[in-house]
Amino acid sequence: MSETVLLVGGGGREHAIARSLAPDCDLYACASNRNPGIAELAEGFETISETAADDIVAYAESVDATLAIVGPESGLDAGVSDALDAAGIYTFGPRAAEARIETDKAFQRRFMHENDIPGNPDFATFDDMDAACDYIDDYDGDLAVKPAGLTGGKGVKVIGDQVTPEEAKAYLRDSDYERVVLEERLVGEEFTIQAFVANGEFRVSPAVQDHKRAYEGDEGPNTGGMGSYTDVTPSLPFMADGDYEAAVDVIEAVVDAMPDYKGILYGQFMLTSEGPKVIEFNARFGDPEAMNTLPVLETPFIDVLVAAREDDPLPELDFAEKATVCKYAVPEGYPTDPKAGAKITVDVDEDSDALLFYASVDARDDGLYTTTSRSFAVVGHAESIAEAEQIAEAALADAGEGFHIRHDIGTEALVQRRIDHMDEIRGE
């Protein structure tokens, strides 16, 4: 029997999910924006807010959905998975209670502490900003300042990197945050592992390195992610033997401590001189990391969803031994003062080992235009990171005016900087 799957969400991450699922099911989608890439792959597409649980359930029932997957964290936080599950439509995504591992950073740190999850840094939580400022004054070292709720990856301020202690305190006093988490600043190289989780089991994907800073050389403000890369192996060039496995052990500890979790568990790690430490967990695929991992997943994604629903063992995941490099094109001025309205002219020949993923675009009668969010991404895949980077760059050559791209992502020079940085941290 063919499955009918409802996909919730309209970003680049969801375009990657749609591309992975569409060949093996009847796919329907809904989102607040009409992603042209998803619409082309889906049997039907409705404009519905990702947080409108009742409307999403009604649409799922109208198309006789047998499965659903929720892409963005906003929908998980709003209980969309809960509502779909309650309607009898198995949803590959955590319910709101389990999604708190992303949506409530104070809960996340306490959960790690109470369950002896390895890799937890020093932390303290505050609902009094004056008390938080006192903690900054008293702490011996630098701190990361994190709002407890969702901020789209843009709310964190790191003392000693982005801000001074005085600027961090001013940030807290000027904010309207109800709760914040202050935690030990972790120094090293970041990487992500995304796990497919259901029924107390999990399967992991290759490590990815995302690039949050807006400008080349890791300068500028944080963004939702400017691009990312993977290697031909599950590990990354700056990781030593055992680092990937140590991070997987952390994911296993979380799954053991949260047996009702289902969906994607995204572990964001900092590789330090002491091994991997946890920066945060997310309760869904990363964006852009989904665009690195799903295109090289050779196991049908639909098989994972069906096994999860049927309480069967999850299939072992096979990934092509390919490196990938993803680069986002964003509107000029993003993220602080983005300029919308640039026409998107890029046209990727997918026979060139490049894939085009749409994110936030404005579809008009005469074509696609930028909004104020990330516009589209191109992913190259090849036998090495360097080759994949060249493929992505070639595909972006005709992007047109009005875009900003971090051209250094995946380059040999930047990857070598990561290797040298870890060698320095390890004292090698």
CA–CA separation, 68 vs 22, rounded Å? 13
Q: What is the pLDDT of residue 1?
A: 67
Tokens (6 digits) for 256: 């053991």
Helix axes 165-174, 129-138, angle to 10 degrees: 170
Mean pLDDT of 354-370: 92
Q: What is the pLDDT of residues 242-275, one digit of tens each?
A: 999 999 999 999 999 999 999 999 999 999 999 9
CB atoms within 10 A of CB 264: 27
Residue 194 region, left (φ>0) first, then alpha (ψ -120 to 50), else beta?
beta
Cis peptide before 221 (omega within 30 of 0): no
Q: To which H or E segment does residue 196 belong?
A: strand 189-198
Mean pLDDT of 23-40: 96
Q: What is the pLDDT of residue 153?
A: 62
Q: Are strands 403-405 and 213-215 parallel, antiparallel or unpaired?
A: unpaired
CA–CA separation, 141 vs 150, rounded Å? 26
Mean pLDDT of 14-36: 97
From first CA to last CA, the distance across the chain in angstroms is 56
User: In 3-state terms, what secondary structure has residue 95?
Assistant: coil
User: In 3-state terms, what secondary structure has residue 60?
Assistant: helix
For CA atoms 200, 3, 98, 82, give the dihedral sign: negative
Tokens (6 digits) for 157: 């301020």
**In the block, residue with structure tokens 């080992």:** 353
Q: What is the pLDDT of residues 110-165, one digit of tens each?
A: 999 999 999 999 999 999 999 999 999 999 999 999 998 877 666 889 999 889 99
Q: What is the pLDDT of residue 363?
A: 86
Contact between 188 and 286 under an 8 Å Cβ cutoff? The reply is no
CA–CA separation, 422 vs 365, rounded Å? 50
Full-model pTM: 0.95
Contact between 159 and 185 under an 8 Å Cβ cutoff? The reply is yes
Q: What is the pLDDT of residue 376?
A: 96
Contact between 41 and 24 under an 8 Å Cβ cutoff? The reply is no
**In the block, residue with structure tokens 């680049």:** 12
CA–CA separation, 236 vs 366, rounded Å? 42
Q: What is the pLDDT of residue 154?
A: 67
Residue of 224, 230, 167 lying closest to 194 (CA atoms): 230
Tokens (6 digits) for 80: 């969309």
